Chains A and B, each alone.
Chain A
Amino acid sequence: MKVLFDPAPPYLRCRVFGHGGAAAHLVNLQGDWAQTVLRQFDPAAELETVGYVLYNGGNRIRAAVSRLSRSALQTIGRCVPLLPEHNSMTLQLAAYGLQHRPAARHLLLCDTAFFTRLSPVVRNYALPYEMTRTGLGRYGAFGLCHEWIWQQTRAQTSAALQKVISISLGDHTSLAAIHNGRPRETTTGLTALEGVMSSGGCGDIDPTIVFLLKTAGLSYSDINRILCNESGFAGLAGRPCTLGDIVSGPARPELALAKRLLHYQIVKQIGAMLSALGGVDAFSFASEKPQAMLPFVLEICQALAFLGVRCRPAARRGRWPRELSAADSAVRVFVHRYDRWAVMQAALESFGNIEQEQPT
């Protein structure tokens, strides 16, 4: 049996694999929750692998999947300030798991590891060097997803395809510029707040605004809540909204503005990623609901017609992954169905294969 823990404060998402399928759990984090969570798994049961998702490993964790040890816990501890709520949840659970399930294999999945390979030119902020030298920088986010998009795109094509712009569409949309499997740019930064606006996050805004909110007397937690939870789609629509609400034929004017804004931000970011790559061979979109996103993807492709992007008339039908680009398109366009649990499970299992292949 394999268990995968995915922090989503104030909840913990949990998935059990093996022995007849998979199941998802939401755990309410109250009291001694780590103990409560692990007690759900009978000690007698064959708990083979426990995976923990770490959302921000900063400069310290450079492998997408790694074996978790007691010394790794110290490293995770140093990453807690980068994303306190999520990372402290991972740390607490991993510490408890290592102690109380010593026979199981404990693996860490790090969502920023892919972007540790970004060049310092891209990774550094233009802040005093002494600050960035200590590791403060653009760590990126959703690395597991972007690396998966790259792998899937390569698997789709026999031709040499080197420069890919991956576009992960969701309640938290992000993009990455990837050259031969190596990231060259991404839209997210120190945190996932940077870049494209999200269901509750403001995305790129003038940082002076944060300073003015603080000067006006708002507390850190107020500012955090406003920028991370009450902005983005929710801020424009005046209520909680998903990407699906925004892109599926909005009737209300505030949803229409949100869609125009999102479309504009994505198109601009595609241009930025393209200039970082110095050209592009493929645009590769991924979504958990690709059919619902398809009209929006086609609208984005229409805005890229100046690059020679042409989509097939039959692009609206077919299986996933699907190529949208026509034979005469200068850039290939793919859409993938993204299942993050399946991707994380595959990452865990492929790590197992790598380990088994190595003679020890």
Chain B
Amino acid sequence: MQAAQHILVFNCGSSSLGCKIFQAGDVVDPRPIFSAKAHRVGTQGSEPAFVQYEGPAISRKIVGPLPDHRVAARQILEQIKLHGVPVNLIGHRFVHGGDLFQAAVIIDPIVMQALEQCASLAPIHNPVTLSVIHECQETLPAQLQFAAFDTAFHASIPDYAYTYPVPPRICQRFHFRKYGFHGLSYAYIARAAPAVLGLAPEHLRMVVCHLGTGGSSVCAMRNGRSLDNSMGYSPLTGLMMSTRCGDIDPMLTLYLMLTYDVRPADLLELLTEKSGLLGVAGFSSDLRDIIRKVGLQEQERAALAFRMYVHRLRKYIGSYVAALGGMDALVFTDDIGVSNWLVREKACQGLQGFGVRLDREANRRAAGATAALISSKHSRVKVLAMPTAEEWVVAEEGARLTRGRGRT
């Protein structure tokens, strides 16, 4: 019998910071004993930033400025200490491990150096995760830390989907290929969704939409394995996101530099932090803010941003249905995916040709706390809104890594 561990998991989204503490014996209990989520971290929205805490001793919302992820992590760790919540292992969702990391790893000084080398691979995520790791080293120096990688689930993507058709000398020199992201979330859905759907996991063709408040992607899955993901070498590409442009003509980057005099140094910031919903709507990077303004005459750009977001999502779903040769289930997950019925309703319009029929009432009722079947009984495709559990997948990786180390 394994001694009980308390595994704290940090999950840096581009504009959020999730934190959960799980109790682990032989298995990791999926119900966290403590959870916190910092919202609107470093965003330019009309609403203030806040941290929502849930736990036996603490259940409250603390509103206050959260200029970056490290500040958010510090505030959460202070609350954990204040309320005496036990922690003896800290895990981090690490978005992009490049070619260096194919599986979860304990963070020692050598690993830390290698993680630092990965910073530029995901400029929105990796640096902020590194800042949270540093914050943990400073605040809880005695605790062991580990990293689990979003890219690992997509190792099954076949060559025809991950290869970029650029000259091999360029691919080899820069390690260019599709890596795919949100893998920890997709790993959870791959394991948990078949039982909820009442479908056998074998031969199951699923399109999963991970729609976060910051980053979003779509995954084509067959037999619980990734066939394709809308993100690529970096998390910039694919869907339109809160501040990321998603898919653009590769020539557009050259065009911006040559015609709009965008300096190469500013280009990535433009595409990752000033584009997407924020770029089009102009006043917020938060889809919830934008939806509130849709229909107001003075906010035509809000309607445009929302319609562009939905159109691109629908296109990706369609392309992956074709890639899979049909679809048995369509799953919406993460914050926007489970909590926003309007996005789901609009995304499913136009998918009738693929056999999708939504139960509009069930869809509007689905609130997000638990998995909800939202397709009509006549639908060939089962549609599900289902919370993800990236942090639990990370905690499981941590329990596996430390098993047999004799450390609790």
Contact = CB atoms under 8 A, between A and B. Distances in A.
Interface stretch (B60-68, B78-86, B100-108, B250-258): B250-258
A235 B305 CA distance: 36
Interface string A228-241: 10111111101000
Number of chain A interface residues as a range: 35 or more
A193 interface: yes
B319 A268 contact: yes
Contact of A272 (B165, B240, B254, B316): B316
Nearest to B324: A306
A333 to B, nearest CB: 15
A126 B246 contact: yes
A207 B281 CA distance: 22
A211 B268 contact: yes
B44 to A, nearest CB: 13
A122 interface: yes
A220 B257 CA distance: 9
B232 A206 contact: yes
Contacts of A223: 254
Contacts of A291: none
A257 B353 contact: no
Interface string B141-160: 00000000000000000011
Interface residues of B, number: 75
Contact of A122 (B160, B232, B277, B311): B311
Interface in B164-179: 164-168, 170, 174, 176, 178
A232 B250 CA distance: 13
Interface string A244-285: 000000000000011011011001111111111111100000
B119 interface: no
B259 A81 contact: yes
Contacts of B246: 126
A274 B318 contact: yes
A359 B163 CA distance: 58
A278 B164 contact: no
Given A207-B248, A235-B166, A272-B319, A278 B279 contact: no
A96 interface: no
Interface string A273-304: 11111111000000000000000000000011
B248 A236 contact: no
Given A191-B251, A275-B315, A124 B165 contact: no
Given A271-B319, A278-B350, A194 B249 contact: yes
Q: Which of A132, A208, A226 has the most CB of B within 10 A?
A: A208
B146 to A, nearest CB: 27
Interface string B83-122: 0000000000000000000000000000000000000000
Contact of A204 (B247, B258, B314, B322): B247
B304 interface: yes
A125 interface: yes
B140 interface: no
Interface in B233-276: 233-234, 236-237, 240, 244-260, 264, 267-268, 270-271, 274-276
A209 B166 contact: yes
Interface in A17-60: none
B405 to A, nearest CB: 37
A191 to B, nearest CB: 4
Interface of A: 81, 120-122, 124-129, 131-132, 136, 138, 185, 189-191, 193-194, 197, 202-216, 220, 223-224, 226-228, 230-236, 238, 257-258, 260-261, 263-264, 267-280, 303-307
